[in-house]
Structure 1
Amino acid sequence: MQLGWIDFSKEDRQKALDVINLLSEQGAVDELGIGIIRDAFANYFFPGTSTVQTRAKYFLIVPYVLREAVDGKYGKDANRVLRAIDSAEKDCGIRLLEADPKAEGVIGTRVLPKGWVARKPSDIYWNGIRTFGIFCDYGLSIPEYVSLAVKLKEQRSVSWLGNRNDDADENDKDDSDAGDIGNIRFWNLPIYHDDWRDNLTIELTQEEAFYLDKQIQKSTKGSLLEYVLKNHIDLNEYDDFASLTAELSEKVSEKLAYMMKLACNFNNLVYMARVRYNVMLSEGENTYANDEWSRILPDIKHNATVDLDAVFGELQLINPRAKSFLCGIQTAFMASDTHMADELIRKRERSLKGAARAKLSRTKEFDHSKWVGGGMLDYRFSNARRIVNDIYAGEVSADV
C-alpha cells in the first residue's frame, strides 16, 4: 500500500509524518482502537516521553540548536532559520557518530552522513521539552517560536538604533544568557558554553544530568516519573510495567497506586482481546497465540475485572465506541463466551478500518506464524527507563 498527501505547509507535513510514524512505532500497532486509552495512561505515568525518543541528551541538544538559530545570524526569514535548524541537527548527528560510531540511540544512524531523517530530533522531543518546562511553552510550535523570535529580535534591533544607551551591550548579553528576547523568556536551560558542539557525545554531562533530573521532577509532580527520579528507583530491576506496579504500589501515593493498578487491570483485559485476535487471524494456526490463550483461559473472568467507568472517568476520555467495545468484550469474557468475544473483535476491526481493509476479512493473506497488533501494554515504561538510565549515568559520570 502506498500513502501520499498534499504538502501545503511544514505543519501539515509534520502531521502526516506523525500519523505514518505511528504505524512503525514499536508496540504502537493498534488493531482494536485502544491507543487513545493506552496513551492517556502513559501520559499520566510518564509525561513528556514518547515511544520514539531515544536518548535524554536530545532534551538539551534540541534547545541548544533552537536557541542559537534565532540569534540573528540567519537573518529575518523564518524559513531560512528553520532550514538552518535542520542542518544543525544533522550536523549534531554526524558529530555524535564521529565521537562514537557504535553509540546507541543516535537519530539518523542508518542514513548519516549523506542522508537525513524525515522526522527530526526537534519534532520528536518538542512536546517533552515543553512538558518539562525547558521551553517556556506559550503553546508555540517550533515554526511559531522561530517566527516570533525572529520578529522580536528585529523589533528590538530597530529599537536599539533609535534609543541606544551605555548599558545596551550589557543588557543584550544578559538577555542572551537568559534565553530571552525582549521581555519574553523562551528557555530555561543550564549554563553551557558556545563551544558545546566540540567533543559532543550522546552522554549527558554531570551538570546536564542533574539539571534534567530536577527539571523533570519539578514539572511532573504526582507522576510515576517524578517518583522514580525522586527516589532514584532503578528501573532495570523490573521487566515491565506490571512488575514495577507490584513493587511500588505500597510505596507511592494512594492515587498513583490506584491508577497503576487500574492500568494493569485494563492491560489484562486488552491482552486477552489481542490474544483472541491473533488466534482468529491465524485461523488457529499460531502456536504462540494458542498457547497464550490456553494459559490465560483459567483466569479469564479475573482478568476481565477492570472498572471501565473508572478508566474513562479518571483519564477524562470520551469515546463511546471504544467504551462500548470494551464493555462488550468484558461481558463476553466474564461469561467465558469466546464466540461472543470473537464476534465483537471482528466487528470492532471492521468499524475501524472498513470490511475491505480489516485483516480478519483477509486471514489467508497473512503469515499465520507471526503475531500482529501488539502484546501487553507498556505505557512507555521501556522508553522512560532509557531516559532515566541516561540521567543516572550522567550524575555519576564525574565520579567514576
Structure 2
Amino acid sequence: MVSTLTWIDHDSRARERTLRILAQFQEKESRDELGIGTVRDSLADLLFPGTSTIQTRLRYMLFVPWIYRALEDKNVSAAQFAGAADKHERELVRRLQTADDHHGMFGKNAGGDIKRLPSSVYWAGLGAWHIRLTPFSQGQYHQRIDETYRQKRRIARQQRHGRDRADDPDTEPDNVYNWHPRLPATPADFPEKVTFLLTRDEAEFIRDRLQVACPHSLLAFLALQDDKPTGAYPWECASSGRFSTTHQTILHHARLFSEVMHGAALSYNYQLAKKTERVGLCEHHEENFQEWRNALPLAEIARWNINELWALTHREGHQIAPQTRHFIESWVRYIRTTPDALLKGDASALIEYREKKLKGPRSRFTNKRAQEQWSGHSGTGRISYRWKTVKTLLADLHQGLCQEAVC
C-alpha cells in the first residue's frame, strides 16, 4: 500500500482525501458502498472541520507538533528528519502504553510496530485548526525543513545587524513558523510521563484556535459551551436549542440526508442477502428496512428542498459528481412517490445499478468471490457525521478547561 500511494505525498489535498477514504474502512457506519461519501464528508466538514473518523484523543493535536518542534529546535536535517520523527512517534506510542488511560490510544496492541502514526491522522486537522502553519503535505514538510532553517538563520542575521524588515513579507519572522508561535510549551517530562489529560492552558489554546480558524462552525460553538455534547447524532444534542440558525439549517439537511440514505443502505444489504440466498439474513435486513420505513418523516421529506443541500455541499474542496446527485435525487423521488414499494421495481433496481456502476466487475451483485467475502452487513450504520469522534474530542477539551490554571 505504501508504495502505491507515494504519489499523493506531493499533493496535500489529494493526500488528505485519500487518507479520509482509507479511514472509512475503519468503521461499519462509514462504509460507502453507494458512493455518497462526498456529500457526507462535505456536511461533516462544514459542521466539524479538521476532524476525521480515525482521530481518537484531542491531545494528539499537541503531541504531534511538540515532536516536530523539538526536531526543528535540534536542526535535524531533511535527510534525517522523517526517520527521526518516526522514531519519536513510536516512542510516544510506547510511553502511552504505560499510562492509565488507554482509551483511543494509537497502537494499543501493536505498540511501536504501529503502521499508521498519529501525525498522518492529525496532519489535516492541525492545518484546519491553524496549529500547523506550513501549507505543505507531511512529506513535503520533511523534505523542505532545511529551507526553514536557512530562513531562520537569515532573519537572525538581519536582526543582529539591526535591520528592520518587518514590512517585508519575504523576511517577516512569522513566515518561518511551521507551528503556531503560541503553541503551549512542551511538558518537561514529555514523553516519559505522557497522558491524554490536557492542562488548562493547552485546552484554552485549542479552544482559541477553533474560534480563529473555523469561527462559524458548530465545532467552535460547542467548544465554548460548559456542557458536554450528548446524543447519538448532532441534532440530538441537548444544547441544540442554542444552535445558530445557520447550524440548524445545516443539521436539517444533514439529518434528512442521513435518514433517506440509511434506507438505501438497508435496501442494498437486503438485496445482497436475497441474491446470495441467505434466508435468515434476508429476513433480518427486511425487518430493519420496514422499521426504517415506518419511522420515515414522509411529510418533512416531501417538503425538503434538496437544491439547498447541493448549495451547501458543492463547494471548494468538495465536488459532488452529477451521477451522485442523480442517484440521490432519484432515491428521494422514489421515497416521496412510492414509499411502500422501495424494495422492488425501479427503486430496487436503482440501488443495484448504482453499486454496479461504482464497482464494475467487483460488484457483489455479479462477482461470486465478492459475494463470498461479504460479511452480511455493509454500511448499515446511520450517518452521524463523525459525531462520536467529535464528542470524544470535546470531552477531552472540557476536561482540560476544568483543570486548575498553572500560575
* Aligned alpha-carbon RMSD (Å): 3.1
The equivalent of 1:187 in structure 2 is 179
**For residue 293 of structure 1, what is the aligned residue in structure 2?**
289
> What residue in structure 1 maps to residue 336 of structure 2?
334
CA contact (8 A) 2:223 2:397 kept: no
Q: How many Å separate the matches in 1 of 2:62 and 2:44?
A: 22
Aligned twin of 1:11: 9
Equivalent residue for 1:89?
89
| Separation of aligned partners in 2, 1:221 and 1:251 | 16
Separation (CA, whole Å) in 1 of partners of 2:307 and 2:96: 48
Give aligned-pair identity as a percent. Answer: 22
Q: Secondary structure of 1:203's match?
A: coil
What does residue range 1-400 of structure 1 map to in structure 2 within 5 Å? 6=4, 11=9, 15=15, 19-75=21-77, 78-100=78-100, 103-113=102-112, 115-117=113-115, 119-137=116-134, 139-154=135-150, 156-157=152-153, 165=160, 183-188=175-180, 189-193=182-186, 195=188, 196-235=190-229, 237-244=230-237, 247-283=238-274, 285-286=280-281, 287-298=283-294, 300=296, 301-302=298-299, 304-305=301-302, 306-316=304-314, 317-336=319-338, 337-338=341-342, 339=344, 340-354=346-360, 356-362=361-367, 365-366=371-372, 370-398=376-404
For the Cα contact (< 8 Å) 1:267–1:377, is it kept in 2?
yes
Query: Shift of residue 27 of structure 1?
Result: 2.4
Deviations 1:65-111 (A, max 9, x none): 11122234423xx13101101111111111111233x5111211211
- The one-letter amino acid paired with 1:311 is L
SS of residue in 2 equivalent to 1:233: coil
Give, in angstroms, the shift of residue 385 of structure 1: 0.5
Task: Please give the TM-score of this superposition, normalised by the length of structure 1.
Answer: 0.83
Tell me, yes or no, if the aligned pair for 1:279 and 1:285 is still in contact at 8 Å: no
Query: Do the aligned partners of residues 272 and 19 (structure 1) sit closer, same or farther apart at CA in structure 2, a change above 3 Å counting?
Result: closer
Instruction: Give the Å deviation of 1:22.
Output: 3.3
Greater CA drift, 360-369 or 196-205:
360-369
Distance 1:123 1:32 in 2: 27
What is the number of residues matched between the two proteins? Answer: 376
Which blocks of at least 5 consecutive residues in structure 1 are unaligned? 169-179
CA shift for structure 1 position 294: 1.9
> Do the aligned residues in 2 keep the contact of 1:282 with 1:368 (CA within 8 Å)?
no
Query: How does the TM-score come out when normalised to structure 2?
Result: 0.82
- C-alpha distance after superposition, 1:235-254 (max 9, x if no partner): 1x31223422xx55542211
Structure 2 residues not aligned, in runs of 5+: 164-171
Equivalent-residue separation in structure 2 for 1:342 and 1:368 (angstroms) = 19
Q: Distance in 1 between matches of 2:213 and 2:22?
A: 30
Q: Give how far 1:205 is off.
A: 1.9
Answer yes or no: is the 8 Å Cα contact 2:57–2:393 preserved in 1: yes
Q: Determine helix, strand or coil for the equivalent of 2:193.
A: coil
Task: For residues 200-238 of structure 1, give each alpha carbon's deviation from its aligned partner in whole angstroms, at most 9, with x where no partner exists.
Answer: 112212221222122223322121111111123321x31
